[in-house]
């Protein structure tokens, strides 16, 4: 039985990975995160929780020595783009130094490193991007993730880099919002919202991203893979599709451009990914955005019941 260690297991992607893998007899799952587990008690067995601060090299080395994982899926990161811009030192500790710690541990145990990255390593001038496009980040978050990619690439490990875009989904404790939940709640409350029409993304259902990471493990694939949704949409289009799905008042959605908002970090305008490589080499098959809304709708009903 192969051993897989997941960092950031309390986060959205981490939760989806634990949920999917704990039911499989193929893998022994070590779910890690800072402090206590926030995974649901009803998930029961099928995985082991380990407290881990990935910025502490001694902790990282000790956890790897104890569990000797065959695979690492590194989902933990500082992902608030504006916080990264305002606190670059803290961003580097989480997004760069921690990756070096994990590389050091993986090299000792010959662990296959699967590293999560982002569309924000690109400028947004020429999207959608394939795996060979040249990175050119426009904010500190993107720069930190590019630095971490370079560390992984220069390691002596078997590695795979998973680049993804605008991940959406529902955490087990409903602790995270996303564009679908935000639009739904705002319109249900009769609140007018402003949504940008000049940024393009290929939004990614968290379950699809988890499936992509698992396919990488199953095939022991190496290299860079774009794993995202397949629909190229603006946030405004996502909001309209959400309103249509739930039968809500679209007139409350105001179409604006990015200049309306003042944010510390610049956002790339047009990213999105070409995912042919993942589809052809891994058998990756993402849902449409509308199907993703349907999946979240069912999850919302379950959470409310």
pLDDT along the chain (305 residues), means of 10: 97 97 93 95 91 98 98 98 98 98 98 98 97 98 98 98 97 85 97 98 98 98 98 98 98 97 96 98 98 96 82
Q: How far apart are the first and last CA of the chain?
A: 37
User: Burial, 23: exposed, middle or buried (Cβ in 10 Å; 0-12, 13-18, 19+)?
Assistant: exposed
What CA–CA distance (Å, rounded) separates 288 from 202?
Answer: 10
The per-residue pLDDT for 35 is 92
> What tokens were used for 235?
């946030």
Contact in structure between 203 and 292 (CB atoms under 8 Å)? yes
CA-closest candidate to residue 75, choices 201, 265, 213:
213
What CA–CA distance (Å, rounded) separates 124 from 138?
Answer: 8
The per-residue pLDDT for 172 is 86
What CA–CA distance (Å, rounded) separates 94 from 115?
Answer: 14
What CA–CA distance (Å, rounded) separates 154 from 151?
Answer: 5
Look at the block and give the residue holding tokens 């069912």: 298
> What tokens were used for 91?
């961003």
Contact in structure between 61 and 42 (CB atoms under 8 Å)? no
**Coil, strand or helix: which one is 2?**
strand
Q: Which class is domain 2-168+205-228+274-286?
A: alpha beta
Domain residue ranges of the chain, discontinuous segments joined by +: 2-168+205-228+274-286
The per-residue pLDDT for 45 is 83
The per-residue pLDDT for 193 is 98
The per-residue pLDDT for 251 is 98
The per-residue pLDDT for 110 is 98
Contact in structure between 203 and 213 (CB atoms under 8 Å)? no
């Amino acid at each position: 039985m192969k051993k897989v260690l997941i960092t950031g297991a309390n986060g959205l992607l981490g939760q989806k990975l634990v949920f999917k893998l704990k039911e499989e007899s193929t893998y022994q799952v070590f779910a890690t995160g800072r402090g206590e587990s926030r995974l649901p008690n009803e998930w029961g067995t099928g995985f082991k929780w380990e407290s881990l601060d990935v910025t502490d090299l001694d902790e990282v080395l000790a956890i790897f020595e104890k569990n000797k994982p065959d695979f690492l899926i590194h989902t933990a990161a500082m992902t608030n783009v504006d916080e990264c811009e305002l606190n670059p030192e803290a961003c580097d500790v989480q997004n760069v130094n921690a990756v070096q710690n994990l590389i050091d541990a993986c090299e000792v145990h010959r662990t296959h490193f699967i590293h999560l990255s982002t569309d924000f390593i690109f400028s947004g001038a020429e999207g959608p991007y394939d795996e060979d496009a040249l990175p050119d980040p426009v904010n500190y978050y993107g720069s930190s993730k590019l630095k971490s990619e370079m560390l992984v690439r220069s390691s002596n490990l078997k590695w795979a880099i998973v680049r993804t875009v605008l991940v959406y989904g529902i955490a087990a404790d409903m602790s995270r919002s996303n564009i679908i939940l935000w639009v739904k709640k705002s319109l249900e409350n009769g609140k007018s919202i402003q949504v940008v029409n000049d940024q393009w993304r290929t939004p990614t259902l968290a379950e699809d991203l988890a499936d992509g990471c698992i396919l990488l493990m199953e095939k022991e694939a190496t290299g860079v893979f774009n794993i995202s949704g397949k629909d190229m949409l603006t946030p405004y289009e996502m909001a309209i599709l959400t309103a249509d799905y739930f039968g809500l008042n679209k007139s409350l959605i105001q179409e604006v451009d990015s200049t309306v908002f003042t944010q510390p970090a610049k956002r790339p305008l047009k990213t999105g990914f070409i995912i042919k490589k993942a589809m052809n080499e891994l058998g990756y098959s993402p849902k449409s955005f509308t199907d993703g809304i349907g999946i979240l709708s069912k999850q919302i009903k379950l959470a409310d019941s």
